[in-house]
């Protein structure tokens, strides 16, 4: 076949609102010996995409990674069908269904040798330093694709690895959540929240969530949350959470909002010896974490960090998806050409529960 040299794609050339997303014809990377050309079926829209587009993460550099620069093509997650492969590719052939690796590991990094491939440096993350998934066609090294299991929908494959991979690492390895324990999640209506709720329930934990919007309550219950607090008052929320636990407080609290008042509410909802994980990636109104030295000694609490997932987490998630144990709620679908409308919905909606996706070829 004659290989294409351009693709319809969405790129950001300067920070701003949804209108900063530019849809048009853009150059396609050459295939190369180890390259795999994929026709994108589905790409996801995430909160991180909104932050990059708006400039909220400008200047942010993680250890071992290059800074994010403009122009950029957003999108960490994608799934599609292989159209062509380079001569050195051994794992895929045209017609194969594949899903993008969202947490690439550098096999030669010292962190990978330590079992912390999610922290490895010397690599460029698609949608961050490398071109992301907001495109009809993608060319990436074969190591940056995984086979989609038989019977798994491409849309589900495209949206499961990032949230579920991170939630799998967080719950199993960082918090070590167990049968009968209690978990509080703030910011639970997005993909990361859904993944955390569902995996925690599979592990036998009881899950509570908070939301300021009554329109999200039913959706959060449908995801598996057993107790939903609807309030914009952190003190009221903490009191209701403690009542739900018989006055003890929760074993674990995870914040996906970055809101200092909600992080503080999580601390006030913990039981003795509890764990707090501020997992949003950055704090709104940057400043000191709202945790005091006295909290650490008074509660003997632990503050737990998490940064992405490892390759092993991705494989575990694909296995759970193939066995029908997990899934992703799709809240809205947009053609690639309407990426700006997708961003606007994710930013503005007050009753949205689930993922927003872009469909290739339109």
Residue 29 near residue 18 (C-beta atoms within 8 A): no
Give me the pLDDT at residue 320, please.
97
**C-alpha distances out from residue 199 to 186, 215, 221, 245, 314, Å:** 16, 24, 15, 20, 14
Q: Is the distance from CB of 85 to CB of 93 less than 8 angstroms? A: yes
Which domains, from first to last, does the chain contain? 6-162+309-359 (3.90.180.10), 176-303 (3.40.50.720)
Tokens 């396609």 found at: 28
Cα distance from N-terminal residue to C-terminal residue, the chain: 22
pLDDT of residue 184: 98
- Rounded to 5 degrees, φ, ψ at 22 are -110, 115
The helix (run of H) or strand (run of E) holding residue 240 is helix 234-244
Closest CA to 231 of 205, 194, 269: 269
Each residue's pLDDT expressed in tens, for the chain with a length of 362 residues: 789 999 999 999 999 999 999 999 999 999 999 999 999 999 999 999 999 999 988 777 888 888 888 999 999 999 999 999 999 999 999 999 999 999 999 999 999 999 999 999 999 999 989 999 999 999 999 999 999 999 999 999 999 999 999 999 999 999 999 999 999 999 999 999 999 999 999 999 999 999 999 999 999 999 999 999 999 999 999 999 999 999 999 999 999 999 999 999 999 999 999 999 999 988 887 788 999 999 999 999 999 999 999 999 999 999 999 999 999 999 999 999 999 999 999 999 999 999 999 999 76
The strand ranges marked E within 46-142 are 78-85, 97-100, 137-141
Ramachandran quadrant class, 229 (left: phi over 0; alpha: psi -120 to 50; beta: rest):
beta
Close Cβ partners of 148 (under 8 Å, ≥ 6 residues apart): 79, 97, 98, 99, 154, 157, 318
């Amino acid at each position: 076949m004659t290989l294409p040299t351009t693709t319809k794609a969405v790129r950001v050339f300067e920070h701003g609102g949804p209108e900063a997303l530019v849809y048009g014809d853009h150059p396609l990377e050459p295939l190369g010996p180890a390259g795999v050309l994929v026709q994108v079926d589905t790409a996801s829209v995430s909160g991180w995409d909104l932050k990059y587009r708006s400039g909220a993460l400008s200047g942010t550099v993680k250890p071992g990674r290059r800074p994010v620069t403009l122009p950029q093509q957003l999108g960490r997650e994608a799934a599609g069908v292989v159209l062509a492969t380079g001569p050195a590719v051994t794992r895929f052939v045209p017609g194969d269904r594949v899903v993008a690796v969202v947490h690439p590991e550098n096999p030669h990094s010292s962190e990978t040798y330590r079992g912390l491939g999610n922290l490895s440096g010397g690599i460029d993350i698609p949608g961050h330093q490398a071109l992301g998934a907001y495109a009809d066609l993608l060319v990436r090294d074969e190591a940056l694709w995984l086979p989609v299991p038989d019977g798994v929908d491409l849309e589900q494959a495209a949206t499961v690895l990032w949230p579920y991979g991170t939630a799998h690492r967080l719950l199993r390895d960082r918090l070590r959540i167990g049968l009968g324990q209690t978990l509080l999640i703030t910011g639970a209506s997005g993909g990361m929240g859904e993944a955390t709720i569902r995996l925690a329930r599979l592990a036998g934990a009881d899950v509570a969530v908070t939301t300021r919007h009554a329109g999200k309550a039913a959706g959060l219950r449908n995801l598996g949350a057993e107790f939903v607090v609807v309030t914009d008052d952190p003190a009221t929320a903490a009191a209701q959470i403690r009542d739900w636990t018989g006055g003890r407080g929760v074993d674990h609290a995870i914040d996906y909002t970055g809101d200092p008042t909600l992080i503080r509410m999580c601390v006030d909802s913990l039981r003795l010896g509890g764990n707090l994980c501020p997992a949003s990636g950055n704090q709104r109104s940057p400043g000191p974490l709202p945790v005091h030295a006295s909290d650490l000694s008074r509660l003997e609490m632990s503050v737990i960090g998490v940064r992405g997932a490892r390759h092993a987490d991705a494989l575990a998630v694909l296995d759970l998806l193939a066995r029908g144990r997990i899934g992703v709620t799709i809240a809205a679908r947009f053609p690639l050409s309407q990426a700006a409308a997708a961003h606007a919905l994710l930013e503005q909606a007050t009753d949205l529960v689930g993922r927003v996706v872009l469909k290739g070829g339109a």
